Structure 1
Amino acid sequence: MFFAPSQFSFAQVLTRHWEAILAECLALPGQEFDAWPERNLYSHGWDVYGLYVGQQPLLENCIFCPHTAGLLQLVPGLSAAGFSRLAPGAEIRPHVGYSDQVLRLHLALRASGDCGIRVGRQVRRWIPGQCLVFDDTVEHQAWNRGDAERLVLLLDFDKPLQGLDADEQH
Structure 2
Amino acid sequence: MSKTLWERTVQLTVAFGERLLAPIERWIGRRSLVGDATFFPLERFPWVRHVEENWLTIREELERVLEDRAALPNFQDISKDQIGITDDDRWKTFFLYGYGFKAKLGTEMCPRTDALMRQVPGMTTAMFSILSPRKHILDHRGPYKGVLRYHLGLIVPREKQACRIRVGEDIRHWEEGRSMIFDDTFNHEVWNDTDETRVVLFVDVLRPLPFPESAINALIVKAIGWSPFVLDAKRNQEAWERRYLQRSRAGRAAPQPAQAS
Q: After TM superposition, is the score higher than 0.5?
A: yes
Structure with greater strand percent: 1
CA 13–32 in structure 1, closer or farther in 2 if over 3 Å, else same: farther
Residue in 2 that maps onto 1:139: 187
Please name the residue that 1:153 is paired with.
Answer: 201
In structure 1, the residue matched to 2:41 is 4
Deviation at 1:74, TM superposition (A): 0.8
2:106 aligned partner: 61
Q: C-alpha root-mean-square deviation of aligned residues, in Å?
A: 1.2
Query: Does residue 14 of structure 1 match 2:51?
Result: yes
Match of 2:167 in 1: 119
Question: For residues 19 and 43 of structure 1, what CA distance do their matches in structure 2 show?
Answer: 31
Say whether 1:42 aligns with 2:90. no
Structure 1 residue 34, shift from structure 2 partner:
1.1
CA–CA distance in 1 between the matches of 2:64 and 2:199?
13
Structure richer in helix, relative to its length: 2
**Distance in 2 (alpha carbons) for counterparts of 1:43 and 1:143:** 15
Contact 1:46 1:90 in 2 (8 A): yes
Give the letter aligned to residue 49 of structure 2. Q
1:83 and 2:83 aligned = no
CA shift for structure 1 position 20: 1.0
- Say if 1:88 and 1:149, in contact at 8 Å, map to a contact too: yes
**TM-score normalized with structure 2 length:** 0.60
Q: Tell me the alpha carbon deviations over residues 81-136 of structure 1, each in whole angstroms, 9 at most, x when there is no partner.
A: 10000000000011000011000000010112110100011100000100110000
C-alpha displacement of 1:43? 5.8
Paired residue type of 1:24: E
Structure 1 gaps of 5+ residues are 163-170
Give the conservation status (yes or no) of the 8 Å contact 1:85–1:151: yes
Identity, % of aligned positions = 32
How far did 1:42 drift? 2.6
Q: CA deviation at 1:56?
A: 2.5
Structure 2 gaps of 5+ residues are 1-37, 77-81, 211-261
Match of 2:139 in 1: 94
CA distance in 2 between partners of 1:6 and 1:65 (Å): 27
Report the Cα distance in structure 1 between the residues aligned to 2:195 and 2:183, rounded to whole angstroms.
Answer: 28
Q: Which amino acid aligns with 1:67?
A: R
Higher relative contact order (CA 8 A, sep 6+): 1
Deviates most, 131-140 or 3-12: 3-12
AA matched with 1:15: E
Q: Could you tell me which of 30, 33, 46 is aligned with 2:72?
A: 33
| One-letter amino acid of the counterpart of residue 33, structure 1 | L
| Aligned structure 1 segments of 4 or more residues deviating by more than 2 angstroms | none
Q: Which amino acid aligns with 1:133?
A: I
TM-score, length-normalised on structure 1? 0.91
